[in-house]
Amino acid sequence: MKSFRTYAFLLFILSFGVFNKSTGQVCPAVLNTKYVSLVVQFAQLSSIKGHSVVAVKGGFWLTGTATLANGDIDFFYSKLNDTGKVILFKTIGLPTKEGGFAVKLASTPSGGIIITGQNYDNSISAYLGAIASIDNTGNLKWYRKTASNGNSSKLDAIRGVMVEPNGDVVCVGDAQQYSNLSYSRALIIKLDSNGNQIFINQINVGISGNNEQTHPTDVKSTKNGYLIGGWTTNSQNAFLLLVNKTTGASINCVYLKSYYRFSSDHILPLPSGKVFLFGFTDITGNPNGFIAAINLNTGKIEWQKGIPIASNSKDYCGYAILENENLFVSTQTTDLNSGITKQSILTIDTNGNYKNGNLIYNGSSGFRTSNACSDFDVLTSGGLVFYGQDNATSAVHLNFAIVSPCNSSECAIHKDNFVPYNTNAELVSMNCTNHFISDVSKESPTVIDININRDLICKDKEIDELDYWLLNSFSPGADGYNDIFKIGHKGRDFNYNIMIYNRWGELVYDTQNASIKDQTKFWNGQVMNDGVDCPAGTYFVIYQLYLEGPSKSAKEIHGTVNLIK
């Protein structure tokens, strides 16, 4: 019988698959690319500045501001597939010379996008909020801007946007629509999928009755209303504002009271009533990344942490997602001595405990802007896409990174510099007053197709991939020969999911988020490893192997295993 077990082991060896360490060009076609730079030279443009990215099926969209050769400043938007190939690049703006910037993107149910920001209106010499709807082929559906309504050399800007499942568009920003105001109000706009107004409202957000410069930055839908996050200039406090979904009227608002400056650039609410805030605080004298967990049901701050990512630096927390009880947070740190900016992704649990920190890019050029990597999204094909730009050369660059977060030598671990500390903040109610205003205006801006010459700059670096082999036969027993069905590996550790089905499609074993180092999670040949033996035969297996990070970046493999008795 021992010789038969040896034969089974030979079958196992013949079915191995190894992805060894290699050196080569890291180009966008490789999904686990750590950094790529797309150099795009435009005859019609003198410069571009980017700000936001959003993933859709098969790829992603980028947006920002483009300066045309004639001096006009317009929005640009570009669609790329999930390997980084440019599908289209266009600019959009009014026929008169204007300024401003595109701030944020949101995807629509059909795979198009909503772009929000501001444009300068020469007719009234003022900045106005702007909203553009683009379909999935890159064509303009509609364009809206905030009505002037007495605006006298004041500015509006739309900073945050979300799209409801039915296509309704909800935008937030700040409004200074009246010449006698020395402060700004929170601006809330809701449109249907065709750009028709549902409501538009301004809310005076004040602390203890004082008027504030108010800067909403993000909006999310909750069961109780639209939740708006942002910060105020005068008191430098992060705030949360809840408004009615039908009218836009204020329901309630709170702020983080502290002696230290705070900002809130992104919010992430959960159905339980907990809300995560991400931004920065200057409790140490320089900006440090800031994350807080607030329970709106109890009105309490559950925890709040300052995060100096490196010593003698300015650090910011920008965007975040929640997956498998982990928060994946984009960060940016600028060394105050060298001026070099590093982009990273930090992983913390929902109690604010550090897990790991992975460097996305570090160098003397590229991604060296204040908004670099403030925005990211999860590609439908796996991995994360970040956006930045390169100010190190005079050429026009369109830079982004496609990343599978990891723990390898390719990704620097920030644990030694990641020192969370409590910030001693408390939650306090605010005063909010509604000021409903007139409708948004309709415009027909010019859309220009830009012909591009596309060159790729790829970075030579070592690619340290998973090194593993998969068993295709095993014989459960207690003699110590191939008793369990397992994944063999060497090199860096990884996690895995395994689903095993019998010939009738019944699930006989399942394990999720298991560590390759945990021998107890391998299959022992019993139903759910719980005492009932499975018969001999062929079983169908789905493997998902992944590094620490969102499971959407998993490598999925389908195969079979022979259970021999």
**Pairing mode, strands 555-563 and 473-474:** parallel
What would the mean pLDDT of 252-261 be, rounded to a whole number? 78
CA pair distance 454, 451, nearest whole angstrom? 10
Residue 12 has pLDDT above 70, yes or no: no
Domain assignment present for residue 505? The answer is yes
The model's confidence at residue 564, banded by pLDDT at 50, 70 and 90, is: confident
**Tens digits of residue pLDDT in 349-404:** 888 887 777 666 554 444 444 344 467 888 777 677 777 555 444 445 666 676 65
Domain assignment present for residue 478? The answer is yes
Q: Which domain holds residue 539?
A: 2-20+465-563
Name the burial class of residue 419, with classes exposed (0-12), middle (13-18) and buried (19+) by CB atoms within 10 angstroms of its CB.
middle
* pLDDT at site 170: 98
Q: Which segment of 26-40, 403-417, 448-462 scores lowest on mean pLDDT?
A: 26-40
Residue 129 has pLDDT above 80, yes or no: yes
* pLDDT at site 276: 94
Q: Which segment of 274-283, 320-329, 331-340 scores lowest on mean pLDDT?
A: 331-340
Domain assignment present for residue 15? The answer is yes
CA pair distance 322, 255, nearest whole angstrom? 23
Of residues 309 and 210, more confidence is placed in 309
- What percent of the chain has pLDDT above 70? 71
Domain assignment present for residue 449? The answer is no
CA pair distance 392, 110, nearest whole angstrom? 37
* Interacting residues of 83 by C-beta distance below 8 A, sequence separation 6+: 28, 29, 31, 402
Domain assignment present for residue 524? The answer is yes
| Total number of domains constituting the chain | 1
The model's confidence at residue 27, banded by pLDDT at 50, 70 and 90, is: very low
Q: Which segment of 11-15, 31-35, 121-125, 221-225 scores lowest on mean pLDDT?
A: 11-15
H-run or E-run covering 2? helix 2-14
Q: Which segment of 110-119, 249-258, 403-412 scores lowest on mean pLDDT?
A: 403-412
Average pLDDT, the chain: 75
What would the mean pLDDT of 156-179 be, rounded to a whole number? 86
**Owner of token pair 């063999």:** 488
Domain assignment present for residue 200? The answer is no
What is the number of alpha carbons within 13 Å of residue 117 lying toward its C-beta?
Answer: 26
Strand extents, DSSP E, 258-382? 262-269, 274-281, 288-295, 300-307, 313-323, 326-335, 341-349, 354-361, 376-378
Residue 17 has pLDDT above 70, yes or no: no
Q: What are the angstrom distances between the C-alpha of 29 and each of 25, 296, 376, 384?
A: 10, 44, 19, 14
Domain assignment present for residue 216? The answer is no
Backbone dihedral angles phi then psi of residue 63, each to the nearest 5 degrees = -145, 165
Instruction: Tell me how crowded residue 504 is: count the other CB atoms within 10 A of its CB.
Output: 6
Residue 61 has pLDDT above 90, yes or no: yes
CA pair distance 154, 272, nearest whole angstrom? 40
Coil/strand/helix, residue 91 = strand
Of residues 486 and 179, more confidence is placed in 486
CA pair distance 58, 373, nearest whole angstrom? 21
What is the number of alpha carbons within 13 Å of residue 137 lying toward its C-beta?
Answer: 2
Residue 162 has pLDDT above 80, yes or no: yes
CA pair distance 542, 16, nearest whole angstrom? 16
The model's confidence at residue 336, banded by pLDDT at 50, 70 and 90, is: confident
- The CATH number linked to 536 is 2.60.40
Domain assignment present for residue 509? The answer is yes
Tell me the pTM. 0.73
Sign of CA dihedral 412, 415, 417, 422: positive
Residue 28 has pLDDT above 50, yes or no: no
* pLDDT at site 167: 96
What would the mean pLDDT of 491-517 be, rounded to a whole number? 82
* pLDDT at site 414: 55
Residue 142 has pLDDT above 90, yes or no: yes
Report the residue count for the chain.
Answer: 565
- What percent of the chain has pLDDT above 90? 18
CA nearest to 469, candidates 397, 381, 559: 559
